[in-house]
Amino acid sequence: MEEMKSNFIHDIIDADLAENPEIKVHTRFPPEPNGYLHIGSAKAIWINVMTAKKYGGLFNLRYDDTNPSKEDMEYVDSIYEDLCWLGAEPTGGVYYGSDYFDKCYEFAVKLIKEGKAYVCDLSADELREYRGTLTEPGKNSPYRDRSVEENLDLFERMKNGEFPDGAKTLRAKIDMASPNINMRDPAIYRIVHTDHHRQGNKWCIYPLYDYAHPIQDALEGITHSLCSIEFENHRPLYEWVVDNIGFEKKPKQREFARLNVTHTVMSKRYLRKLVEENLVDGWDDPRLPTLCGLRRRGYTPASIFDFVSRAGVAKAYSVVDIELLEHCIREELDESADRRIAILRPIPVTITNYPEDKTEYFDLPNHPKHPERGTRKVPFTKHLYIDADDFAEVPPPKFFRLKPGGEVRLMGAYIIRLDEIVKNEDGTVKELLCSCDIETGNGMPADGRKVKGTVHWLSAATAIDAEIRLYDKLFTLENVAEMPEGKTYGDYLNLASVESLTGAKLEPCMKDESADARFQFVRTGYFVKDSKHEGVYNRIVSLKDSYKPPLA
C-alpha cells in the first residue's frame, strides 16, 4: 500500500503530537459482525491502517458484537478473512466488544452510584415521545429521580433476567433539554434475552454502542477513534462517557465522510435482503459491493485501496463514480494481466484448402507491452472458431471484419477469405467456409494487397469449453442514496445485470492456469475464474471506456 496523502485527520494528529510528542498513535476498525464488509468498509480500514502506519503506531480489529440478535460467527470469520486479503492485518491485535461486558457493567454501576445513570421503565414508544424533537426539548422521565439504591437494585435484577425484553433500560442522566438529541438521557443498556455467539447465555442485558464504544477505545489505548460522519453528532456522548467514567488517557473521536458509490448500495440491511430473497448469488455475488463479491469478481486489494485513495479523505458528502473503481482495476490489469484468446459467441469456420490432419502452431505474445514475458503456442487446424461479432452477412459501412468475399487476418496467423455461408434449416448460420492464403503465414500478402481487419480465433479441435459471465451495474439509478419519493431499491434493481454465455471457447492452455490468475481476453475484457463454479469465468471489467479519472 502506498503512503497515504496528508489530510485533515493527519493535521489533527500532527497538532496532538506537537502538544504531546509521547503519544503513540493507535487506531482501530470496529465492524459489527452482522453482515459482510463492503467497499465502504474498505475506506474505513484504509484510513485507520494507513494512519497508524504513517505514524509508526498500531491498528486494532475490534468486533462490535454487542447486539446478539443480529450477529453470527460466519460474519466474524468473513471480516477477518477480508482484512487479511486486503493486507490490513491488525498489528495491535484482535478484540471483541463482548470481552469488555464485565467492565461495561462495572462502569454502569459506577455511574449509577454517582447519580449519573438511572433505570427507566418507559416503553420504546414512550421514550420516543419523551425525547422531543429537533426544535422542542425532551421531557424528564418519571423514573429519572429514583434513588441510587433503587437503581442499583433494579439494574442488578435486569442483569439477573427478572424482566422481559424492553421492560426497562438503563439511561445516562445528562440533559433532556440539550440541543443535541443524543444527549437527552440516552439509553446505555437494554434487555435482550438472546444467547450471544461468544458469551452464550451469561448476559441478558447488553450495552449500546454509544456507551460501549468509548469504553472499549479507552481500555485498548486507542488514541484516535476515526469513524464515519454519521457519528459526528454522537461525539459529545462519546466524550461524556470517557469523562464521567474517569479515564485518564482519553481517546479522541474524529469523523470522515462515508464512501458513497454510484449504481450500488452500502446498506447491510438491503444487501442481506438481496441475499435472503435469492436475488443474487450469495454475499459474494460479483455484482455486490461486498469485499468478498469484489474478490470473486476479480478485483485486487491494490485496486480497491487505489480507488479509496483517489476518492480522498474529507468531511463533505460526495458520491464517487463506480467507473473510477473500474478505471483503477483496468489500469492495474493492463500492466499485469497476460493475454489469452476467448471466443464468447463461437461460429464454426472451416478452412477448405487446409489439410484435415495437419496441426501447426503460431507463437502469440503473452503480453505485447512486455516481450520479456515470452510467447505461447496456439494450435491451428482446419476447423476453427471465430466470434459472431466478427462476422456480418450484410455488413454495415466500414465493417473490416469477415464478410462475404472479404478477407481478414486471423490474429498472428493466416489471411482468410469468406467463400460460402452454410445455414441451418431455420436460416441461422451453421458454418463459414473460408480459404486461407497459405503464403501469408503471419506475414503480409506477396502481391501487396491491404487487409484491414484482424479477428481472433481458436482451433475447434483443442479449444476448451467455458461459461463466460458478463456483469453490468446492479442498479439503474446513478445515486441510489437519493431515491425519488415513493420509490424503493427494488424499483431500480437491474435484473439484466449479468449475462451468461454458456458456449464460449478458450485456449487449451487455460485449463492449467491457477484459480486466481487474471487475464485479458483479447478484444473482450479482463477475466478471472469464478471461485464457486467450475468452468466459469467472470468479466472483471471491459477493456476501455470513455471515463476520464479526475486529476490527482
Q: Provide mean pLDDT across the span 314-336.
A: 94
Q: Give pLDDT tens digits for 100-135.
A: 999 999 999 999 999 999 999 999 999 999 999 999
Question: Domain for residue 460, yes or no?
Answer: no
Identify the active-site residue in 159, 190, 235, 268. 268
**CA distances from residue 268 to 33, 58, 96, 259, 290 in whole angstroms, order as listed:** 11, 28, 20, 14, 9
Q: Are residues 85 and 204 in the same domain?
A: yes
Residue 550 has pLDDT above 80, yes or no: no
Q: Give yes or no: 268 in active site.
A: yes
Rounded-to-integer distance, Cα 397 and Cα 144, Å: 82
pLDDT number for residue 551: 57
296 and 349 co-located in one domain: no
**310 and 347 fall within a common domain:** no
- Same domain for 58 and 190: yes
148 and 19 assigned to the same domain: yes
Arithmetic mean of pLDDT, 35-39? 96
Contact 218, 242 (CB under 8 A): yes
- What's 300's domain CATH number? 1.10.1160.10
Write down the pLDDT at residue 481: 81
> Looking at the structure, do residues 240 and 379 belong to the same domain, yes or no?
no
Cell of 505: 471457447
Instruction: Name, in order, each residue with C-beta under 8 angstroms of 151's C-beta and a sequence gap of 6 or more.
Output: 112, 117, 118, 119
Domain count, the chain: 3
List the one residue out of 336, 340, 334 whose CA is nearest residue 365.
340
Which of 32, 81, 332, 513 is labelled catalytic? 32
Tell me which of 202, 232, 256 is where a domain ends.
256
Residues 207, 61 within the same domain: yes
Q: Is residue 130 part of a domain?
A: yes
Residue 520 lies in a domain: yes
What is the per-residue DSSP string for 95-133?
Answer: EEGGGGHHHHHHHHHHHHHTTSEEEE---HHHHHHHH--
How many C-beta atoms lie closer than 10 Å to residue 489's C-beta?
Answer: 17
Tens-place pLDDT, residues 252-262? 999 999 999 99
Q: Is residue 512 located within the same domain as residue 493?
A: yes
**Rounded-to-integer distance, Cα 261 and Cα 289, Å:** 9
The mean pLDDT of 190-214, rounded to a whole number, is 96
Q: Are 434 and 332 part of one and the same domain?
A: no
pLDDT at 450: 85
* 193 and 247 co-located in one domain: yes
Residue 406 lies in a domain: yes
pLDDT tens, 522-534? 999 999 999 999 9
Specify the higher pLDDT residue, 60 or 445. 60
In a domain, 354, yes or no: yes
* Active-site pick, 103, 139, 258, 523: 258
Q: What are phi and psi of 283, to 5 degrees?
A: -60, -25
In three-state secondary structure terms, 322 is helix
Structural domain including 281 reads 268-338+466-541
Q: Give all strands of the β-sheet with 346-351 in edge-to-edge order.
A: 454-455, 407-410, 415-423, 429-437, 346-351, 383-387, 457-459
Closest CA relative to residue 448, chosen from 434, 437, 433, 436: 437
Which of 190, 225, 256 is a domain's end point? Answer: 256
pLDDT at 2 over 90: no
Residue 550 belongs to a domain:
no
- Work out the pLDDT band at 546, boundaries 50, 70, 90: low
> Which of 416, 435, 455 represents a domain boundary (last residue)?
455
Identify whether 505 is part of a domain: yes
Would 547 be classed as within a structural domain?
Answer: no
Residue 393: CB atoms within 10 A of its CB come to 12
Torsions phi, psi for 267 (to 5 deg): -75, 115
Q: Is the pLDDT of residue 40 over 90?
A: yes
* pLDDT (average), residues 474-494: 90
Q: Indicate if 32 belongs to the active site.
A: yes
CATH number for 194 = 3.40.50.620
Q: Are residues 102 and 21 in the same domain?
A: yes
Percent of the chain with pLDDT strictly greater than 70: 99
CATH code assigned at 413:
2.40.240.10
Q: Do 333 and 347 sit in the same domain of this protein?
A: no
